Each structure stands twice: as C-alpha cells, then as structure tokens.
Amino acid sequence: MKSMNNLIKEKSAAYFPQLVGLRRHLHTYPELSFEEHATAAFVSSTLEAAGISVQKGVAGTGLTALIEGRNPSSRCIALRADMDALPITEANDVPYRSQHEGVMHACGHDVHTTCLLGAAMILQELRDDFEGTIKLIFQPGEEKSPGGASLMIAAGVLQDPVPEAIFGLHVYPHLPVGTLGFRPGQYMASADEIYITIKGKGGHAALPHQTVDPIATAALVVTGLQQVVSRRSNPLSPTVLTFGKISGGHTTNVIPELVELAGTLRTFDEAWRQEALDMIRKMAEDIAGACGAGVEVYYPGGYPPLYNDPDLTMKARSIAADYIGPEMLHELDRRMGAEDFAFYTRQIPGCFFRLGTNTNHEQFTAPVHNPHFDVDERCLETGAGFMAYLAINALS
C-alpha cells in the first residue's frame, strides 16, 4: 500500500498540467480587490466540477467549501487563498499575459488560488482516508483595506464549523521552486494607511507673504514626521514610516490651496502602533499650525501584525520536512510587509508559510508587486500537494 506522502505526490503530479492551465487562466484575466466576480465564478465552477459544493457570495465575492472526511464533526481545519490582483500593468511577454490593461497578478494570488484548488481536488479524492472536515476559504480583497479576511470573518467564515487552525501560503521569489519557508511567532508587520490633507491659502508665487503655502508646510510635515521613527520609537522595535504620495499644485507660479500626502506605518508592537498613529496626528497638526495652515489626518483601520502560532508552525514545518525533505526547508526572517491573514490568526491559531517560486535564484526572481513578476510553475505541484498533505496531517 502506498504511503499518503507518495500518494499525494503522485496525484499532485497528475494534476500538474491542469493546475498550469488554471493558473494561466487566472493570470490572463485578473480582477482588482472586491471586484473578483469572474474569478469567483471560475473558482466555483472548478470546485463544482470536482464534486465539491460551494457557498458563494461570502463577503461579496468570497467563497467557502467543505471537504468532509470520515466522522466530519470530529475536527476542522481551514485552508485559505486570496484571489485579487493589483493595479499594475504587466511587462512580461508571455502567452498568459494579463488581458486586463492596468491589472496584473503581480503578487501571486493566481498561484495561491490554484494551489488551493489543486489541494481541494486531491483532498476530495482522498476524503475516505482522513477524519474530520477541511474548510476551504477563497477570499477577496487581500490587497485593499479593510482586508477581505476581516470581512470574511465578520460574515462567519470561522463558524459552523469552527476551525481549530488555519493555514495559508504565499509565493516567495527569494526561494527556489520546490522549497518552503516557515517562521514561528512574529512574522509580518502591521500596516496602516495614513492620509494627510494640508490646507493653505493660495495665491501668486511671487507674493508668498500673502499666502499660506501648503507645499512648504507639507515638506516640513514629511521631514518632521521622520522623528517618530528616528527619535520617538524604541530602536529595538522595528518601525517604518513611508510617504509614497505627495499631490498638490499644477504650475510654477501658483501657490495652491491644498496638498495631499499618503503614506504607511509598519510595526510589530500593537501598543506602539496606536501611540505612533496618535503622535503622527499631533505632530502634523502642530507643524501645520506653526505654518498657519490647517490639516486633516485620517487613518482607516489597517492590518494587525501577523503572528504564527509557534506550536502549529513547528508542526507544519515537521510535516513539510516529511513531505519534501528537511533540506528543502528555509527559516524565514521577519518582514515589514503586511498580510490580512493576520486577522485570522487573531481569532484562531494560524500558520502562514512561503512557497519558493524561482529557478535556482536565476529566473523568476523579480519581487512581488513588480510588473515583471512571474513564477516557475512547478511551484504549483509543490504548493497543491503540500497543502493537501498538511491538511490531512493537521487533522490527525
């Protein structure tokens, strides 16, 4: 009798050509956050073709499904994938290049969705070989606040049945195809969007004394707020404050009325996170006030830090070592990037791990959120197979 390890490897290899086709379809027709209508329909039809019933329209375009083994009420774990793309114009010259101008799967969510579809098809075939229930979560809007995960949770995705643990994967162009990466404990930072509007008094550029210059004020605000990181935060607590957008004015000889700033704050410490946001507001108000300008500071609810349950993550790592070999595993560093998977891990134990996608550190090494990002598609076989193997072993 074949071991479960070998059986799943054979099935993932057999499904590989189909997985490539699924991934290329998703890559060709990407959709932005919370607009994944065709994507959700494609995922749903793929699951239904495998005999899996689907709950549609969860938090808008989200989907859930259950694969029930023997004694389905005994235990439940969840597997999650995100489905949305980014507002990026693809620069790759490939047959599956995005056909939606200005929209691209530049973060690998097409890979995540395909891996979970592959795992679902394998698990559906093997449902008589494990006990418990595996909940599949295909969520919208990971890339856009307030995060599809938070909306899926509010819609009851972690209820009926209640998963005791949740797992998710993410592409990682820093690792070779066939490998996986894990990190217990703190892994990814919080992320808050910060919007600052500086209100001045417009006028002629040659008569600055008759105006309140919001551009000069904005420059002071941007540079002054760097004190939050360089002088107010604990150097042992990683913090990033970056402003990625300044918008104001339209010509050389007019001082405008308004300047708009947009930025992001990242940290691992929840108490410091709130303190820093309050500090940013007060410092912006004080600096603008000293210049005679008005200011509005707005930060919608962002993503919390992502914490991998240590015991669960070490268990997943051990299962991965059994599936692909310990030499194929990597220890991950903490990252200042953020993930809305963190909302799940605030509710139940979770493990968010990485899937290697490059070829010997020579091909497919463009970072995510880059118009040249692509993957060695052999990662689909590893990702789908391991998610299925992980789910069965997590239940046992």
Q: Domain span at residue 261?
A: 192-298
- Pairing mode of beta strands 350-358, 166-176: parallel
Which residue type sits at 188? Answer: M
DSSP 101-133: TT-B--SSHHHHHHHHHHHHHHHHHTGGGSBSE
Handedness of CA 155, 305, 188, 247 (dihedral sign): positive
Same domain, 185 and 197: no
Same domain, 323 and 261: no
DSSP state of 4: H
Give the confidence band of 95 by pLDDT, cuts at 50, 70, 90: very high
Same domain, 21 and 148: yes
Using alpha carbons, select from 195, 199, 340 the residue that is nearest to residue 256. 199
Q: Taking all residues of the chain, what is their mean pLDDT, rounded to a whole number?
A: 97
Same domain, 279 and 339: no
Cα 3 from chain centre: 34
Distances in Å between the Cα of 70 and the Cα atoms of 76, 124, 132, 133, 294 are 12, 12, 6, 8, 64
pLDDT given at position 106: 98
Same domain, 266 and 320: no
Same domain, 22 and 154: yes
Our count of domains for the chain comes to: 2
- 365 close to 163: Cβ distance less than 8 angstroms: no
* Euclidean distance between CA atoms 130 and 68, whole angstroms: 9
* Euclidean distance between CA atoms 103 and 99, whole angstroms: 8
* Euclidean distance between CA atoms 213 and 204, whole angstroms: 10
In the chain, the percentage of residues whose pLDDT exceeds 90 is 99
Angle at 155 between CA 150 and CA 159, to 5 degrees: 100
Residue with tokens 């065709």: 38
- Enumerate the H helices of 155-269 as residue ranges: 214-225, 227-230
* Euclidean distance between CA atoms 112 and 69, whole angstroms: 23
* Euclidean distance between CA atoms 273 and 275, whole angstroms: 6
pLDDT tens digits, residue range 274-291? Answer: 999 999 999 999 999 999
Give the confidence band of 168 by pLDDT, cuts at 50, 70, 90: very high
Same domain, 125 and 155: yes
Residue 347 belongs to a domain with what CATH number?
3.40.630.10
pLDDT tens digits, residue range 173-218? Answer: 999 999 999 999 999 999 999 999 999 999 999 999 999 999 999 9
Same domain, 47 and 88: yes
Same domain, 218 and 314: no
Query: Which of 275, 298, 321 finishes a domain?
Result: 298
pLDDT tens digits, residue range 332-380? Answer: 999 999 999 999 999 999 999 999 999 999 999 999 999 999 999 999 9
Query: Which of 265, 298, 331 finishes a domain?
Result: 298
Residue 211 belongs to a domain with what CATH number?
3.30.70.360
- Whether the per-residue pLDDT at 100 is higher than 70: the answer is yes
pLDDT tens digits, residue range 238-263? Answer: 999 999 999 999 999 999 999 999 99
